[in-house]
Amino acid sequence: MAVEGTWEIITGNQAAAIAAKLARVKVVPAYPITPQTTIVEYIASFIESGHMDAEYIRVESEHSAMAAAIGASAAGVRAFTATASQGLLLMSEVLHWAAGSRLPIGMAVVNRAVGPPWNIHVDHQDAMSQRDTGWLQVYISSNQEVLDTILMMYKVAEHPDVLLPFMVCLDGFVLSHTYMPVNIPRQEDVDEFLPEYSPPHWKLDPENPITFGNLALPEEYQEMRWSMDLSMRRALDLIEDVAEEFFQKFGRYHGGVTWKYKVEDADYVVVTAGTMASEAEVAVDELREEGMRVGLLKVRAFRPFPHRDVAEVLQDRKGVIIIDRSIAFSSGGPIGIEVRSSLYNISGSPPVVNYVTGLGGRDVTYEDIVEMTKDGIGRITSDRLRRPYYWYKLKPEYEKIELSEEVRL
């Protein structure tokens, strides 16, 4: 379990590019979009300088990027691309094709607000609005976790029980353009951990022609969707197993489908994802110093959603505070919605306060998380839980409107 490899101070985008190289991906169709651009630039330079043996395809849009990745993966090789925001939305139709064709394509999504209005900063709505495409989605809190998770997720996605594509989602600029020390594992260790991809069921082969994405009428279609759903649920345990295997080999553990921090004796648990979860660790320490028993449950896997683990950790607590960096208009934060669905039919389901904040890159510091947690605890203990969700840090003049009795939910 010795930590080998070299240490470098790199950005989240560099970490993603290096992970693609270490995973020995063979085809990278690329279309640049801020804040993803440097990922595909680093990969281009790796290939040009002979450090990476892959085909680089300069496509005319993100729609084509994903279409080319599908072609490559269908031909039986590991494919990778990266995108953000409108680029991901432009891919949406083809995201369904990738998942429905059961192709384990890897993609880094650098989370960015959706326009209009134009905004290049972090917000999870781009990826979370693609949650039902059949892609696995993992949300990341550090640059080391970006690199390690891309390697782990290829292993999960290519497992014969899964065969679904995956997104590793990293917060725009907060991770993509921020430098952190990252351990870069040795190629031979990665090769041992992640052998070459070999499609277990089918691939495009002129010797044995097949068509894919064909017509499936009502007698066929439903079971295909069931099979995708089953595979996604199966991925819950595989993500845990592969994280454990990665830990045994490389000595690093970022959590499986969730990451728990000081939850054992916690009365209240904060639930969040991405870089807000790193801030929340600091907030938990602060709150504990003030004598409040608070813990953190970080949601790493948003698809598959870890309902059972969430319920196990949260049941019988005095309350749950969920912080979302995305808005599902008129329903709250996407994580808030999922967590409620995990808790609804269990005994001992605790009260839930969901905050929506940090949109379009608005800063969310550990102090904000301390404040939201205290506000949430106050609402729970004084029975002021009137709404399924609350906006946090609206400008005061708007907050007045938001909290007025006329605003119905």
Partner 1 sequence: MGLGIPIIIPVSKPSKGAAGKTGLWRVEKPVVDEDKCIKCWLCWLYCPEDVITEGPNGFPQIDYTFCKGCGVCADVCPTKAIQMIKEEE
SS3 112: coil
Q: What is the DSSP letter of 195?
A: P
227 binds partner 1 (CB under 8 A): yes
Of 224 and 401, the one with the shorter C-beta distance to partner 1 is 224
Of 116 and 160, the one with the shorter C-beta distance to partner 1 is 160
229 binds partner 1 (CB under 8 A): no
161 binds partner 1 (CB under 8 A): yes
Residue in 14, 231, 272, 357 binding partner 1, rule: CB under 8 A: 231
Q: How far apart are CA 93 and CA 251, in angstroms?
A: 39
Smallest separation, CB 215 to partner 1 (Å): 6
404 binds partner 1 (CB under 8 A): no
214 binds partner 1 (CB under 8 A): yes
Which residue in the block uniquely carries the two structure tokens 């951990």? 193
304: preceding bond cis by omega (within 30 degrees): yes
Contact (Cβ atoms closer than 8 angstroms) between residue 186 and residue 5: yes
Q: How many residues bind partner 1 (CB under 8 A)?
A: 24
96 binds partner 1 (CB under 8 A): no
Q: What is the DSSP letter of 224?
A: H
Residue in 7, 179, 202, 398 binding partner 1, rule: CB under 8 A: 202
SS3 117: coil
Q: How far apart are CA 107 and CA 269, in angstroms?
A: 31
160 binds partner 1 (CB under 8 A): yes
43 binds partner 1 (CB under 8 A): no
Q: How far apart are CA 88 and CA 62, in angstroms?
A: 7
Q: How far apart are CA 371 and CA 392, in angstroms?
A: 10
254 binds partner 1 (CB under 8 A): no
Piece of the chain touching partner 1 by CB under 8 A; list 39-47, 80-88, 94-102, 262-270 = 94-102
212 binds partner 1 (CB under 8 A): yes
SS3 156: helix
Q: How far apart are CA 359 and CA 48, in angstroms?
A: 37
206 binds partner 1 (CB under 8 A): no
Can you give the binding site for partner 1, defined by CB under 8 A? 100-102, 159-161, 163, 201-202, 209-216, 223-224, 226-227, 230-231, 234
